[in-house]
């Protein structure tokens, strides 16, 4: 397989540090940098794959939020008593309070 040359520019101290690390790893600088970059790319790909579902949910929620914002919203005075209780309960949960108004300490161990 034909190889391609890539030039990079870096500070002298960085270059020396890379040389030292490559030497300790028993590699030449090119092999060391390729190894480091390949490892970083695999890590980034794995993270992107792991969060792809969450990213899709966020994108969908943003689209829905954009559609909702275009519609007229109800004024607080127009909420029913049950709607007000529901909003208060949702806000309490978002703040980490349980139904008794106590702060929760997080997930149970």
User: What does the mean pLDDT of the chain come to?
Assistant: 84
| Phi, psi for residue 103 in degrees, rounded to 5 | -70, 135
Helices and strands, counts by H and E, the chain: 4, 0
| 88 band by pLDDT with thresholds 50, 70 and 90 | confident
Calculated CA dihedral for residues 77, 81, 83, 84, nearest 10 degrees: 70
Report pTM: 0.51
Residue 82 has pLDDT above 60, yes or no: yes
At 90 the pLDDT is 86
- Give, in order, the Cα–Cα distances in Å from 55 to each of 40, 60, 67: 21, 9, 19
Angle in degrees, 0-180, between the axes of helices 52-70 and 29-50, rounded to the nearest 10: 50
At 95 the pLDDT is 77
**Do 32 and 25 meet the contact criterion of CB atoms below 8 Å apart?**
yes
Mean pLDDT, rounded, for 78-82: 86
Q: Give the residue, 105 or 64, on which the prediction is more confident.
A: 64
């Amino acid at each position: 397989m034909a190889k391609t040359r890539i030039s990079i520019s870096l500070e002298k101290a960085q270059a020396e540090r890379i040389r030292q690390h490559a030497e300790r790893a028993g590699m030449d600088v090119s092999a060391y940098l390729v190894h480091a970059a390949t490892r970083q790319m695999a890590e980034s790909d794995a993270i992107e794959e792991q969060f792809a579902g969450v990213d899709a949910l966020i994108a969908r929620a943003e689209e829905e939020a954009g559609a909702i914002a275009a519609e007229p919203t109800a004024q607080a005075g127009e909420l029913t008593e049950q709607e007000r209780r529901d909003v208060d309960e949702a806000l309490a949960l978002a703040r980490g309070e349980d139904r008794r108004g106590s702060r929760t300490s997080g997930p149970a161990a």
